[in-house]
């Protein structure tokens, strides 16, 4: 069975990811398996490194590129406004609730596309009232874009699950409180209204909801899984990236009526596979290629970069993008491994519902059968540490590392149908809430029919390359710190 899978990529990948691996370069994976049959491929790190510091430590990697945005954690010191206010990170229970509301909307959308709407389990039946689901409060990664001329800096949520980019606009009918001043369209010399008769108005999808007195213009209305709504003018503007690189006539939503569970950010940057997404709008310039690296903690920074990288990131491994899951980003996951060993889970558990990778879901969600096997193996591998009761039934594998100085965690690997094996640093499997509470950042669905979701925790520090033109997704270690 193992012979049909190329482990070479995994070996390289693991070697460069593991801080402490008692392995030597040049071994084929099977040889390693024999020599270390009883041991796990592991990742050892200082417990103190699980906590964000109160001072931002900028990662310099990839920042020299022109087509780059800096990525920061909304709840950490690298988000400038936080230096002047006290930030309260959401609890783990809140994160799970928010994730579930988000996943509900992702699944509803995917199943609508594939005609299996009846399979959707509403969050209500999971005892999560939809109104209470904060689909965006905990989507924690922000990028700062420059909008208009002269440019105004706005922090938007990086979202591979959305198409439309929007921000709150003056004059505003209804706007929630945001950190940066609201974008005032009358103060920009490059602002252009899109007319209702312009073909691109079709991208706005719901042009029917016209506010009174302006029926010649193109309007958009976007509603999210948690009941949040943004409504306003579909417009064109100049968008400026970190290093003065500009995108002209960028289509975005100038939201004059916004409600919902947004938490001080100025709006959303949509990166999915639809025409309104920045990825498709800039197809000529960047060939539908972008990549991001999410920082290891709230006190480091990552990046979002457009266009192909030359040279390619070191040790990058590509796997096929599954077109059927578009506009989300689908992957052909067939298995999951821990410590270099593939777990005994039937491939069909993964392949029947399929898998997507998402920047906005925090935890990684697996079908129940797969989760149980994975969690049990994780607990065995972590039996040297005191396990404590988790904050909810959804977060059932937690540890108190406060008496330990370092921790050794098995490396997680994702196995794909095309033979690709991608290893993630073991540390990325953990979510740390406070000094006495760190939990496994994986959870399960109620329903085996739901797509697995590779969430953002496990993607931290990995350069994830979305090559839509080449229909592949790449993973490279050490994209940022």
Ligand X SMILES: *[C@@H]1O[C@H](CO)[C@@H](O)[C@H](O)[C@H]1NC(C)=O
CB 100 within 8 A of CB 124: no
Q: Which of 80, 275, 309, 351 is in the footprint of ligand X by CB under 6 A?
A: 275
Q: Give all strands of the β-sheet with 437-440 in edge-to-edge order.
A: 387-388, 398-399, 437-440, 430-434
CB nearer ligand X, residue 3 or residue 310:
3
**Nearest approach, Cβ of 344 to ligand X (angstroms)?**
4
Q: Is the peptide bond before 311 cis (omega within 30 degrees of 0)?
A: yes
Q: Which is nearer to ligand X, 104 or 401 (CB)?
A: 401
Among 35, 83, 187, 195, binds ligand X (CB under 6 A): 187
191 lies in the site for ligand X, by CB under 6 A: yes
Half-sphere exposure of 234 (CA within 13 A, CB side): 28
Q: Which residues contact 36 (CB under 8 A, 6 or more apart)?
A: 22, 23, 340
Give the burial class of 17: count Cβ atoms within 10 A of its Cβ; 0-12 exposed, 13-18 middle, 19 or more buried.
Answer: buried
- CB 240, min distance to ligand X, A: 19
Residue 51 interacts with ligand X (CB under 6 A): yes or no: no
Which of 27, 36, 51, 385 contacts ligand X by CB under 6 A? 385
Shortest Å distance, C-beta 386 to ligand X: 5
Contact predicate 282/317, CB 8 Å: no
326 touching ligand X, by CB under 6 A:
no
Total binding residues toward ligand X, as defined by CB under 6 A: 28
- Closer residue to ligand X (CB): 6 or 478: 478
Question: Mask: binding to ligand X, 422-461, rule CB under 6 A, as x and -?
Answer: -----------xxxxx------------------------
Establish whether 159 is a catalytic residue. yes
Q: In this chain, which of 260, 368, 386, 390 binds ligand X, going by CB under 6 A? A: 386
Name the residue nearer to ligand X (CB basis): 93 or 245.
Answer: 93
Cis, peptide link before residue 267, omega less than 30° from 0: no
* The binder of ligand X chosen from 203, 220, 234, 306 (CB under 6 A): 203
> Is 219 among the residues that bind ligand X (CB under 6 A)?
no
Closest approach, Cβ 218 to ligand X, in A, equals 10
How many Cα atoms sit within 13 Å of 299 on the Cβ side? Answer: 10
217 scored as a contact of ligand X (CB under 6 A) = yes
> Would strands 333-338 and 430-434 be described as parallel, antiparallel, or unpaired?
unpaired
Radius of gyration of the chain, Cα coordinates, nearest whole angstrom: 22
Distance CA 217, CA 140 (A): 33
Give the contact letters, 398-417, x = binds to ligand X (CB under 6 A), - = no. -----xx-------------
The distance of closest approach from Cβ of residue 141 to ligand X in the complex, given in angstroms and rounded to an integer, is 19
> Is 230 or 319 the residue whose CB approaches ligand X more closely?
230
> Which one is catalytic: 163, 226, 257, 358?
358
Spatial CB neighbours of 86, under 8 Å, sequence gap ≥ 6: none
**Closer residue to ligand X (CB): 51 or 385:** 385
**What per-residue string of b and e applies to 56-78 under the rule 16 or more CB within 10 Å gives b?**
beebebbeebebbbbbbbbbbbb
Least distance from ligand X to the Cβ atom of residue 191, Å: 5
CB-based burial of residue 460 (10 Å sphere; 0-12 exposed, 13-18 middle, 19+ buried)? buried
Query: Can you tell me the distance from the alpha carbon of 247 to that of 253, in angstroms, rounded to the nearest whole number?
Result: 15
Q: Does residue 113 touch ligand X according to CB under 6 A?
A: no
Please measure the distance between the N-terminal and C-terminal CA atoms of the chain and give it in whole angstroms.
36
Task: Examine the residue annotation and report whether 263 is marked as an active-site residue of this protein.
Answer: no
333-352 positions binding ligand X, by CB under 6 A: 344
**Interface with ligand X, residue 481, by CB under 6 A:** yes
The single residue of 73, 159, 263, 332 carrying the catalytic annotation is 159
Q: 94: burial class by Cβ within 10 Å (0-12, 13-18, 19+)?
A: middle
- Which residues from 160-179 bind ligand X, rule CB under 6 A? 170-171
Q: Which residues have a catalytic role annotated?
A: 159, 358
Site residues (CB under 6 A) for ligand X? 53, 57, 170-171, 184, 186-187, 191-193, 202-203, 214, 217, 275, 344, 384-386, 391, 403-404, 433-437, 481
């Amino acid at each position: 069975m193992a012979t049909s899978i190329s482990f070479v990529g995994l070996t390289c990948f693991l070697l460069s990811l593991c801080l402490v691996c008692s392995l030597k370069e040049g071994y084929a994976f099977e040889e390693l398996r024999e020599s270390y049959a009883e041991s796990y491929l592991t990742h050892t790190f200082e417990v103190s490194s699980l906590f964000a510091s109160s001072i931002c430590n900028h990662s310099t990697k990839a920042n020299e590129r022109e087509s780059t945005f800096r990525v920061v954690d909304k709840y950490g010191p690298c988000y400038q406004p936080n230096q002047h206010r006290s930030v309260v990170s959401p609890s783990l229970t809140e994160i799970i609730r928010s994730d579930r509301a988000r996943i509900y909307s992702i699944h509803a959308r995917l199943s609508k596309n594939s005609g299996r709407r009846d399979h959707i389990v509403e969050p209500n039946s999971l005892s999560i009232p939809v109104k209470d689901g904060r689909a965006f409060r905990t989507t924690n990664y922000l990028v700062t874009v420059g909008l208009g001329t002269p440019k105004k800096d706005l922090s938007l949520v990086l979202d591979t699950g959305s198409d439309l980019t929007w921000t709150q606009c003056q004059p505003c009918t209804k706007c929630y409180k945001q950190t940066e001043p609201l974008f005032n369209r009358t103060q920009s010399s490059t602002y252009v209204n899109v007319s209702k008769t312009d073909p691109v108005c079709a991208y706005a999808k719901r042009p029917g909801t016209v506010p009174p007195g302006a029926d010649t213009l193109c309007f958009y209305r976007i509603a999210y899984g948690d009941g949040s709504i943004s409504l306003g003018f579909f417009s064109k503007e100049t968008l400026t990236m970190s290093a003065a690189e500009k995108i002209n006539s960028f289509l975005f939503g100038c939201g004059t009526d916004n409600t919902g569970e947004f938490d001080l950010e100025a709006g959303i940057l949509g990166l999915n596979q639809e025409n309104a997404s920045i990825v498709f709008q800039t197809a000529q310039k960047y060939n539908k290629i972008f990549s991001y690296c999410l920082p290891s903690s709230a006190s480091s920074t990552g990046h979002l970069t457009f266009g192909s990288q030359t040279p390619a990131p070191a040790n990058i491994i590509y796997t096929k993008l599954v077109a059927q899951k578009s506009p989300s980003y689908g992957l052909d996951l067939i298995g999951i491994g821990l410590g270099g060993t593939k777990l005994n889970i039937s491939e069909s558990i993964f392949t029947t519902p399929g898998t997507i990778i998402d920047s906005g879901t925090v935890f990684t969600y697996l079908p129940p059968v797969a989760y149980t096997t994975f969690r049990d193996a994780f607990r065995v591998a972590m039996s040297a540490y005191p396990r404590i009761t988790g904050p909810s039934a959804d977060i059932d594998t937690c540890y108190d590392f406060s008496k330990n100085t370092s921790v050794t965690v098995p490396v997680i690997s994702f196995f794909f149908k095309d033979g690709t094996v991608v290893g993630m640093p073991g540390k990325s499997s953990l979510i740390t809430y406070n000094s006495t509470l760190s939990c496994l950042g994986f959870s399960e669905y109620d329903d085996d029919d739901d797509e697995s979701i590779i969430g953002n925790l496990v993607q931290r520090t990995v350069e994830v390359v979305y090559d839509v033109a080449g229909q592949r997704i790449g993973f490279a270690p050490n994209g940022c710190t």
